Amino acid sequence: MFRRGVIACGFAGAARAQDRPVRMVVPSQAGGTTDSFARRVAVRMQPPLGQPVTVVNRPGEGGSIGTLEVIRARPDGQTILLSTASTLCLHGMLTEPPRFDVFADLVPISLLGASPVVFAVRSGGASGLAELLDAARHQSPGLRFGSPGTGTYLHLALEMLRRQAGEPPFAHVPFVGSSLTLAGLLAGQVDAITATVANSLRPHRAGDIHILAVAGARRSPLLPEVPTVAEALSLAEFEAALWMTLMLPAGGPVTMRDRLAYAINSTLSDRSLRVELEQTGFEVGGLLSPAAITGFLRAEQARWRPLLQAVSRARAK
């Protein structure tokens, strides 16, 4: 999904130790996909940055609480945001009026990586995605499909599945975060969920759940036995991956952004970290310029806007 590039890294002397740790704000609950990624990166980012990095969870209101905390912080490099498509790509299309402008209020540092979307059931449930959707058409009461919340990226991936699969009549059940979504599936509160490779790989391997399909252009090397959605449903294509970006409050000096970019890009270039992340379900991002990251964000907004508007119209009826 990502291109790898090259960035000039002439900031060895800039990684001077500071008195205060950098606060990496994660606008989601502890224990989820984003939090897991953030904590791995924060530990490895400390040596090239030259100061501690502390992960701070600020969940709530679709990621707005944590995002606004970063936007309102002093743009001195001591507060940064690690967030996902759900907040950075979808917020401006979900809230009227938007509470922030991702392009005016934040500055991109790095497109960190992504984890492909998956669709899963409890062990003993449907053996394939086509079988699950066929059951949705005939099951009474209807099939219940869980997601980490209404309007999240994973919810939209579910709605994309609904439309491309011929509108099977399942009910969407929103939870608050990916951890509670998985718990709801295991407790029988829903029949299936939309998740990511990163937060479903372990329970799949433990035999607690069964991943039916991966929303990637190709099969995951971690799940070679699991078909892609396109394979499972004979579609031309079906791709969705929950990506993560590191951001800085707007208004700070370019040298501060460059210092942080040097530290995170050095971190992501560490082969041992890349292997660790890839083995837990993440695809590590490329080293892109701020302009390239901004272009990626705008392209993602354009991609999802029609579907989000269609979902909003359907809910308003």
What's the pLDDT score for residue 88? 83
Helices (H), 187-250: 197-205, 229-233
Cα dist from 57 to 36, 80, 129, 148, 264, whole Å: 11, 12, 34, 16, 19
Task: Name the helix (H) or strand (E) containing 295.
Answer: helix 290-316
259/275 same-domain check:
yes
What CATH number corresponds to the domain at position 38?
A: 3.40.190.150
48/93 same-domain check:
yes
208/256 same-domain check:
no
Query: Is residue 4 one of the residues assigned to a domain?
Result: no
What CATH number corresponds to the domain at position 222?
A: 3.40.190.10
Give the number of C-alpha atoms closer than 13 A to the C-alpha of residue 81, restricted to the C-beta side.
Answer: 32
Q: CA nearest 210: which of 137, 129, 277?
A: 129
69/165 same-domain check:
no
CB count, 10 Å around CB of 78? Answer: 17
What is the crossing angle of helices 197-205 and 33-49, to 10°? 110
SS (H, E, C) 95-146: CCCCCCCHHHHEEEEEEEEEEEEEEEEECCCCCCHHHHHHHHHHCCCCCEEE
Residue 295 amino acid letter: G
> Exposure of 315 by Cβ count < 10 A (0-12 exposed, 13-18 middle, 19+ buried)?
exposed
211 DSSP 8-state letter: E
Query: Is residue 6 one of the residues assigned to a domain?
Result: no
215/257 same-domain check:
no
pLDDT in tens, the chain (317 residues): 444 443 334 344 334 446 689 999 999 888 877 888 999 999 999 999 999 999 999 988 878 899 999 999 999 999 999 988 888 887 666 666 778 899 999 999 999 999 999 999 999 999 999 999 999 988 767 899 999 888 888 999 999 999 999 988 899 999 988 889 999 999 999 999 999 999 999 999 999 999 999 999 999 999 999 999 999 999 999 999 999 999 999 998 899 999 999 999 999 999 999 999 999 999 998 778 889 999 999 999 899 888 888 877 766 66
Chosen domain end from 211, 233, 255: 233
